[in-house]
Structure 1
Amino acid sequence: MPPKRKASTSDATLLTRKLKIQKKKKPTAQQKAELDKRTKWFQQYADKDDSSIIPPDGCQKLFGDLGVSLESATPIIVGWKLGAATMGYITKEQWINTMESISVTTPTDFKKVLHDWELQVSQDSLQFKQLYLFTFNYVKSASQKSMEVEMAIALWHILLEHTYPIVKSFIQFIQVRIPDFAIAAYAH
């Protein structure tokens, strides 16, 4: 068995640092007040039967209150940043953790963050790629292996059309050709 070493000043320093870290982990009165604000804000949109989730109608109301169009990329960006698994559903845990990480307690502050998120996605190709890849699983249901053509077209309009003008022509091609493909696939 190795000999025990004597406590050094560095051990005392480590112990002091551990105590400071533990004290920081305890919520302060301000942190509790901010958590209460976030929770009350969440509850405005939460499901009446399950207060731990915001359902699609609650999300629609939330985005309406924020002045966000449901036909824009912003609701998808919000789902991505919150780490939501399914479009139209936000859990309380996702809400509280994200709002805490971005230091937001009010809709006014969140609007500013939304604007920053939109700019980041539009200016950073890596973030846009991550958002685009996230969208497929976010939009389709868990039981689906693919996405319906109409949904894909709507998402291409929202996510790609303003950056890539050729998407309009591609969408027109898909809309004209898909009925032919569907009939051919059904006939075989």
Structure 2
Amino acid sequence: SEPYTSARALALFEKYVDADDSTAIGPVGLENLCADANIPMEGAMPLILAWQLGAKEMGRFTKDEWVEGTSNLKISSLSSLLSALSDLNNLLIFSKSPVKSNPKIDPYDRTTYLSYAKDTKSAFHKLYLFCFNLAKPEQSRNIDMETSAALWSVILSPKYPIMQEVLEYIGEKDGVYKATNKDLWTMMLEFCETVDPNLQGYESEEAWPTLLDEFVAWKKARSP
């Protein structure tokens, strides 16, 4: 891969900008970018990209966000972008061991990556909270449940087996739970971190959101 230059990074941005808005890459440009770079749209990598660019809107990157984010990571090619997102995906979503870094041959600047590798839990919490703020409409305090479930399926399910069952429960109760506020979003991660698939770690007297107490009752009722 060619070494990073800001001119190359900008040229890459300009290749994918919106037809009707030259100041941003929109949903179509993002899809084309991901397709060309072999970044799967259905996993967490587009969210990790938004996080690393400090995006303010779902599926949209401004020129300033792109220039600053790619400058921090020293990315100006599709292959280096794929490397950076794959590394973070493996580290934070799939809990794999950190890659060994060698600044002479690294495909991008791994300084940020290595700081996350020192405390993956804290880095994951940052990514998780970022996703709530990214998905939340500006005037709202909530994310609709369909969006929440889609995000949980890519961010939490690969890490925490119990999340798959929570999603099954939410799907079964279609329409009962309308939205996710910040408290439920935060507590969902805490629930996944403290409660195992056999419900070890769950204490009913703790102040879990209603959805989670009702999930536990549902799970107990269907377990022999």
Calculate the TM-score normalised by the size of structure 1.
0.74
* Residue matched to 1:179: 175
Aligned mates of 2:136, 2:49 — CA distance in 1: 17
Partner deviation per Cα, 1:70-92 (whole Å, 9 max, x = no partner): 11000001100100011101011
* Residue matched to 1:111: 82
Question: Is 1:167 aligned to residue 163 of structure 2?
Answer: yes
* Residue matched to 2:134: 138
Q: 1:177 to 1:66 in 2, by over 3 A?
A: same
* Aligned partner letter, 2:57: T
Gaps (5+ residues) in structure 1?
A: 1-30, 183-188
Aligned mates of 1:174, 1:109 — CA distance in 2: 38
Q: 1:181 to 1:152 in 2, by over 3 A?
A: closer
**Paired residues for 1:36-115 under 5 Å:** 36-115=7-86
Per-residue deviation, 1:55: 0.8
Per-residue deviation, 1:35: 2.2
* Residue matched to 2:204: none
* Residue matched to 1:156: 152
Identity over aligned residues, as a percent?
28
Structure number with larger C-alpha Rg: 1
Per-residue deviation, 1:156: 1.1
Preserved CA contact (<8 Å) 1:82 1:98: yes
Per-residue deviation, 1:178: 4.6
Partner deviation per Cα, 1:41-89 (whole Å, 9 max, x = no partner): 1011101222111111111111111111111000001100100011101
Secondary structure of 2:16's aligned partner: coil
Preserved CA contact (<8 Å) 1:120 1:127: no
Q: 1:44 to 1:174 in 2, by over 3 A?
A: same
**Paired residues for 1:21-36 under 5 Å:** 34-36=5-7
Instruction: Identify the structure with the greater helix proportion.
Output: 1
Secondary structure of 2:29's aligned partner: helix
CA RMSD of aligned residues (A): 1.9
Q: 1:148 to 1:181 in 2, by over 3 A?
A: closer
* Aligned partner letter, 2:133: N
Higher mean C-alpha deviation, range 122-131 or range 80-89: 122-131
Aligned mates of 1:158, 1:140 — CA distance in 2: 17
Aligned mates of 1:179, 1:84 — CA distance in 2: 30
Aligned mates of 2:85, 2:24 — CA distance in 1: 21
Q: 1:170 to 1:109 in 2, by over 3 A?
A: same
* Aligned partner letter, 1:172: E
Alignment size in residue pairs:
151
* Aligned partner letter, 1:96: V
Aligned mates of 1:75, 1:153 — CA distance in 2: 16
* Residue matched to 2:125: 129
